[in-house]
Every structure is written in structure tokens, then in C-alpha cells.
Structure 1
Amino acid sequence: MLTASVGHPVERDVSGGGTAAPTTSRATVAPGGEGGHQPQRPRIRVLDGLRLLAALMVVSYHYFGFVSMPTAYGWLGVELFFLISGFVICMSSMGHTVGQFMTSRIVRLFPAYWFGVLLTSAVLLIWQVRKPPSLAEIAANLTMLQGGIGVRRIDGVYWTLWVELRFYLLFSAVVWFGVTYRRAVVFCVAWLFGAVLTMKTPGVANTVLVSEWAPYFIAGIAFFLIHRYGQTLLLWGLVGVCFLLSANHVVGLAVGWNKASGRADLPGWPAALVLALFFALMAAVALGWLRLDWKWLSVAGALTYPLYLIHQYIGGTVLAELADLPYLPLRLGLIVVMLVAAWCIHRFVERPAARLMRPALVRAIGALDRVDVPVAGPSRLRRPRQGQ
């Protein structure tokens, strides 16, 4: 397995293929744990379709690799994921407290992730097509924090989850005070400048600010603000700056990865072209030009995360074990199997786990939303003696 610094496409190794309303203040929103209901928002189903497109791009990259020009740039699906994430996280956190925000993220991310870690570990331990994980590595990966402590990932695609977690942590500061247009814009501008200043300086600041990937999330947030509040020169300026920074980023990644993979003949400019298409699609969503309300898109969106979690190393193991089968039918059939497996994980793991976890998390995290929380347990103060 080729390795490189976090975020370089070399980390996205080809495994067996080719030769993922105005808000109120914090004090006035019904806190989690107090019976408050989270606001219901109309679902933008076209984003579910775009998420599945992004996942299938990454899957095609890992299964077909550099066999053709389109699949050679399939790794760009991750950049589309980050754009959508910025849009959706800002949209879904409006009117929510930080406790509700944390609860929704934990319930959304961890059940399928835990299952994916255990399933992938079992496959790698049984077939050992690549180095099997140790028990210590499996335990560390279950926290989703392995990227921060330098522990080997159970599956290569998990590097993106470490990126997402840091984005959630940063944005939770906005959620704490209440997501408004002004606060979101100030956050985006401040984060963009901080990211640019630390982008080429490895260290704690670079890690905390997610500097390499910040422009994608910021552009996604700006697209949501355009969708919610209308277009302004400031928001389009943010989008434009983020696009230029991101285009430079993906061209550099494409050139370096193509060269490292023995395909120096593949140019970097198609990566910028694909990225421009992503930005155009997100702009169309933000402006209301791209309206697809097909109900099956919600199912497609539900499959995306489980598919992303299990496809790479498990799929690579299957491709290695069945390498004698016809090339194209094997890979197309594997994609279908992975989609079915993703549906099963969503239906029989994610949904039941969410029903069990949410009430407990609401009780546990709801205290974050209350300003004055009495300290549980016996008082630490000395009790007065009689007569005093």
C-alpha cells in the first residue's frame, strides 16, 4: 500500500481494482433531554442523489482504477462529499442546540461505522489478502479517532471521517451560539483565512483548522446560505475563492497521484474540470434550478454511507480472491452486491441502533444545552455544624 501525507490521493489506494430558517439563541431553543422536538425541514432529495454519485465515483476508482479516463478521476467523489457536507451540516444545524447537533452526528455516524470496522476486520483476519489488523488497531479504530493518534486505519477510506470530525468540531462553535447568517459568514471568512495561513505549515493549527480541505466545506456552507437567504456578492465571492483554491489543490493531487501510479500520461486538468462540474451542480441546487423530488433518491442517500464504509478493503479482498473471473462482470456484480449489503446495514443496523441510542444520548448530552446544571452527587462543601 502506498502512503503519503493526509489527503494525498496516494492514501486512496486502489484495493484490488484496476490494476467516500433563522435560528433562535441557544437559551431559547428547546434543549435535548427536555422533550424538545428538533425542527423538521424539507428534504432536498437531489443532494441524496449527488451523495450516491460521489460514493459510486469512489467505488469505481477503487474497483477499476486507471483502466479508463473517467474511473482514474473517481477519487474526486470525496471532494463532492465535502461540498455536500458543508451544505447539509449548516442546513441541518439551524435552530438546533449543540447537544442536538452532537446527538444527531453520533447517531448518524457511529452505528454503521462500528459495524463496518468489525466486518472489515473479520474479512481481513480471515482472508489476509493484506496485513490483518491487530486487536489494538481495531479498538483504536472503533473510536474514529485513529487519524489523530497515528494508528493504522482498518479501511483506507476512513481518513475522510477524521476530516469530517474536525469540521464538525469547528462548526459546533457556531451551533453553540446559534447558527445565523451573520455568524455563518463570519465563521467561513475567518476559517478560510486561517486555513490559507496554515495550509503549508504542518502542525497543530493545520490539523485543527483542517486546512487542506477547508475550502470545500466553506463553499458548501456558502451554497446553503445562498439557498436559504438568497445570493449576494459576498457569498459568491466566497464560493469563487474556494473554487480557485480547490482547483489548484485537485490538479496538484491528480498530477502527483498519476505520476506515483505510473500513469504520468494522464493530465491534471480533468480534475479541475470535474471539480467545476461539482461546483456548478451545487450552485444549481442552491439557486433552486436542480429540483428532483423522486422518493427513491432518499433510499439512495441512505445507502451512501454504508456503501462507502465497506466497499474498499472488503471489495479488494473479493477481487483478489476471485481474480480468475471475467474482469468487468466481476466488478459490476460486486458493486451490486455492495449496494445490497449497504441497504441491509441501513435497514438492520443503522435504524435499530438509532432508535436505541438516541434517547440515551439525549439524556446524556442534553445537559450541554442547559445554562445552569446542578452538580450531581454529594456536595463538596463542608456541611455546617449544629449551632453555627
Structure 2
Amino acid sequence: MRTRRTGGEPQRLAVLDAIRVLAALSVLFYHYVALPGAWGEPTAALFPVAHRFAVYGWLGVEVFFLVSGFVICMSVWGRTVGDFAVSRAARLFPAYWAAVALTSLVLFTWPEVRSTTKVTDVVVNLSMLQGGLGVPHVDDAYWTLFVELKFYVLFALVVMRGVTYRTCVLFCAVWTLAGVVAPAVDDGLLSFFAMPSASPYFIAGIAFHLMRRFRPNAVLWAVVGVQFLLAQHYVRERMVSSLGQAAAEQTPVWPAHLIILLGFAVMAALALGALDRIRWRWLPHAGAVTYPLYLIHMMVGLTAIHHFRDRVAPVPLVLATTACVLVLAWTVHRLVERPLGRRLGAGLRRGIQDIRQGTPTRPTLAQLPAQPPAPDAERIPAGPAGHRRNQAVRGPSS
């Protein structure tokens, strides 16, 4: 089984950036137009037409999970666990720290939609682990980041074992089984990592990448088919959690099923190479802004909407707020995410290298000589340098 990509870094797919942009804007559209909290009244009356579409914008999160499964599987071939951890930390944390700081500042200054009263909650949020500690999110949109972290932890097991076609398929099978069994046995730890409502999208994304990297076959199509059915099973539950019980009962469910079908169809077309002609130059730049946009748009934007709702008409206010958060997202990307990401990645790589060598870059106190050397004596070496152990990840199996 031959891969379509040989050597070097994976080729960037512009269509993935297009999917990210659509997913991010759909989530923004949902928060600004479908949710009534910032407006103080039902949004169906304010946006009689747009509201019918905005109530399904939460599905952008599911699309993000699909893309994440594809991208993570694409990026780990030939990498060690340390490389994987460094790349994820450098990618996620710089923009996230800036978003937490900015959102906290807004909520402390204008506690109109929601107030952040505990500085300790903000500090814990900087770790991105608040979802497992029972600490409130500074921004409700951050719940997806903890889901992503759990996916990374699970997929790190594949990287440790060696990333091959076989191990990826086995991982998909085991995770699918866990997602099916967890609700039945009601096991807390199993459900915590199985993530039954989210895992179908990650697993399908992995299978789609395997199709693209190697070739489609009956096994991979079966994996995708099972994940599609499982994803459809949880649609009603996700509608209730996103819209509330009353609103979910009044909202037709069939468009959500259709949107999920469309998302799987687009990813299938990507896996088969049908969308490779989409190479618009602006897409990578737009795609790079989607992560900071997702991080800052919700509470910052809803606070702005609440603050100006009595002075600006609804439609212009949504458009102006969207434009402002886009500018903020671009600023965070250029001034924080890119430079700090490079620095953080370089620092973490040096730390990983020290661990592999078995000795830190600088000598520890125990390694220093007990007595200072004589003025004409040669410098005593701090200690033998550890030999770097090569831990090569197995390449694609055929």
C-alpha cells in the first residue's frame, strides 16, 4: 500500500483552511444570532430569517473535530511523542493565553453578560485543564479544548507504539468500541476518555486521512460509515445541550442530520483528492486566524453586543462586532501566536533534547566540583554527556 505523500512535511491542503473558516464563522453566527442572552429577548424576532440557519451553527464544532482527526493523523508520521507534544503545545497555548487574558479583562471591566469574580479561576484556565478540575471556563467556548486535549492524550499512545496504517486502524476500532460500551456500563473513567458524542468525528477524520495517504478500501469505508451512524445518534442530545430543551423541541432536527452528512461528504471528497484544485492564496492566511477567532469571539463579542444593543440596530451590530473580533483575532495571531509559538516550541524542544540526552544543558549543583580548581588547572568537566538515543517512529506500513 503506497502513500501519496513521500518525504518531508505533509503538503498543506488549502481546502482544510476553507473548512476551518466556515466552521469558525458558523459557530460565531450561532453565538451572535441564535443565543438570546446578550440581546435580552428572543433572537427569532430580531433575525427572523437568519435565526433559522444560526440555530445549527453549533455544528461547526463537530466539523472542527472532523478536521482535527484528519490533521493530527497527517502530522504525526515519523514523529516521536516528544515532537508531538511540543507541536501541540506550541500551536495551542500562545493564542489561548492571550485569549484568556483578553476575555478576563473584558469580563472584569464590563461584567454585563457574565462576570469573572475569582482570579484563581482565571489562573487555572491558563492551564487549559479546568474542564477536568471542575473550574468554570472563562469563556464557554473553551470546553472543546479539553476534548481536544483528551484526544491528543489518546493518540499519543499510537505515537508511542509507532504510527502505521495498522496501529491507526486498531486505534479507531478500540476507541469506537469504548464509545459504544461506555454509556452502557456508565463507567466514569471510560466515559471520560471515550467521549461517545465527539469521538465519531475524530475517528472519521483519522480514517479519511488514511484513505488519502494510502488508498480507500472496504475497511476504512466501514470505519467512516460506523462513525457517521454514531454521530447521527447523538444529534438530538447535542441540540438540547446547545439550544436548551425548549428551543430544541421547537427546532427541526433534520437539517442537523443533513449538515453532518454534508461534512462527511466534503471530507470524503478531500480524502479522494477531488478538492485539491482549491488553492486560493488567501485561504492559508484566513485559516490561520480561525483558532484565535474561535477563542476570543464568544464572551468578548457577546459583551459588546449587550453593551451596544440599545444604541445600534441588530444587523449592523452583529456585522460590526464580527469585524472587530476578526481584527482582534488577526492581531493575536500576528503579535502573539506566531512569535510566541516559535519561542515556546524552541524552548520545549531544547527541554526534550535534554531529557533524551539524560543531562540538562547546564550542570546541576551535584555536578559542580567540590573544590574550586587551581588558577592554572584545567576546567573539570561537569559530567559525561549522555548519548542521544534515536527513537525512530516506524514509517507507513504497506
TM-score tier after normalising by the smaller chain length: 0.7 to 0.9
Cα deviation, residue 268, structure 1? 1.5
**Residue aligning to 1:327:** 314
Q: Distance in 2 between matches of 1:237 and 1:174?
A: 21
Q: Deviations over 1:41-97 (max 9, x none)?
A: 210110011011100000000000063221010000000000000000000111111
Q: 1:57 aligns with which of 26, 30, 40?
A: 26
Cα deviation, residue 311, structure 1? 0.4
Q: Distance in 2 between matches of 1:367 and 1:218?
A: 34
**Residue aligning to 2:395:** none
**Residue aligning to 1:373:** 358
Q: Distance in 2 between matches of 1:85 and 1:257?
A: 21
**Residue aligning to 1:311:** 297
Aligned partners of 1:251 and 1:272 also within 8 Å: no
Q: Does 1:72 align with 2:61?
A: no
Alignment of 1:1-388 (within 5 A): 39-65=8-34, 67=44, 68-129=51-112, 130-200=114-184, 201=186, 203-254=188-239, 257-258=242-243, 260-262=245-247, 264-291=249-276, 292-324=278-310, 325-366=312-353, 370=356, 373=358, 378=366
Stretch of structure 1 that moved more, 284-293 or 152-161: 284-293
Aligned partners of 2:17 and 2:286 also within 8 Å: yes
Q: Distance in 2 between matches of 1:366 and 1:173?
A: 20
Q: Distance in 2 between matches of 1:149 and 1:100?
A: 27
Question: Mind listing any 5+ residue stretches in structure 1 that lack a counterpart?
Answer: 1-20, 23-37, 380-388
Cα deviation, residue 256, structure 1? 6.2
Q: Deviations over 1:143-193 (max 9, x none)?
A: 000000100000000000000000000001111232111110011101110
Q: What is the letter of the counterpart of residue 86 of structure 1? A: G
Q: Deviations over 1:15-53 (max 9, x none)?
A: xxxxxx87xxxxxxxxxxxxxxx9422101100110111
Aligned partners of 1:224 and 1:286 also within 8 Å: yes
Q: What is the letter of the counterpart of residue 171 of structure 1? A: F
Stretch of structure 1 that moved more, 251-260 or 46-55: 251-260
Q: Distance in 2 between matches of 1:266 and 1:98?
A: 44
Q: Distance in 1 between matches of 2:161 and 2:251?
A: 47
Aligned partners of 1:100 and 1:366 also within 8 Å: no
Cα deviation, residue 263, structure 1? 5.5
Q: Distance in 1 between matches of 2:209 and 2:242?
A: 32
Aligned partners of 1:227 and 1:287 also within 8 Å: yes
Q: What is the letter of the counterpart of residue 120 of structure 1? A: T
**Residue aligning to 1:16:** none
Q: Distance in 1 between matches of 2:244 and 2:147?
A: 25
Q: Distance in 2 between matches of 1:314 and 1:259?
A: 22
Stretch of structure 1 that moved more, 267-276 or 160-169: 267-276
* Residue aligned with 2:250, SS: coil
Q: Deviations over 1:194-241 (max 9, x none)?
A: 121113525111112333311110000000000111101000000000
> Cα distance 1:317–1:222, how it changes in 2: closer, same or farther (>3 A)?
same
Aligned partners of 1:91 and 1:224 also within 8 Å: yes
Please give the root-mean-square deviation of Cα atoms over the aligned residues, in Å.
1.9
**Alignment coverage as a number of residue pairs:** 342
Q: Distance in 2 between matches of 1:157 and 1:358?
A: 25
Question: Mind listing any 5+ residue stretches in structure 2 that lack a counterpart?
Answer: 35-42, 45-50, 368-398
Aligned partners of 1:93 and 1:101 also within 8 Å: yes
Cα deviation, residue 366, structure 1? 3.3
Cα deviation, residue 261, structure 1? 4.6
Stretch of structure 1 that moved more, 145-154 or 169-178: 169-178
Q: Which runs of 4+ in 1 moved over 4 A?
A: 255-259, 374-379
**Residue aligning to 1:12:** none
Cα deviation, residue 264, structure 1? 2.6
**Residue aligning to 1:35:** none
Q: Distance in 2 between matches of 1:46 and 1:310?
A: 24
Q: What is the letter of the counterpart of residue 51 of structure 1? A: R
Aligned partners of 2:58 and 2:242 also within 8 Å: no
> Cα distance 1:198–1:263, how it changes in 2: closer, same or farther (>3 A)?
closer
Cα deviation, residue 251, structure 1? 3.0
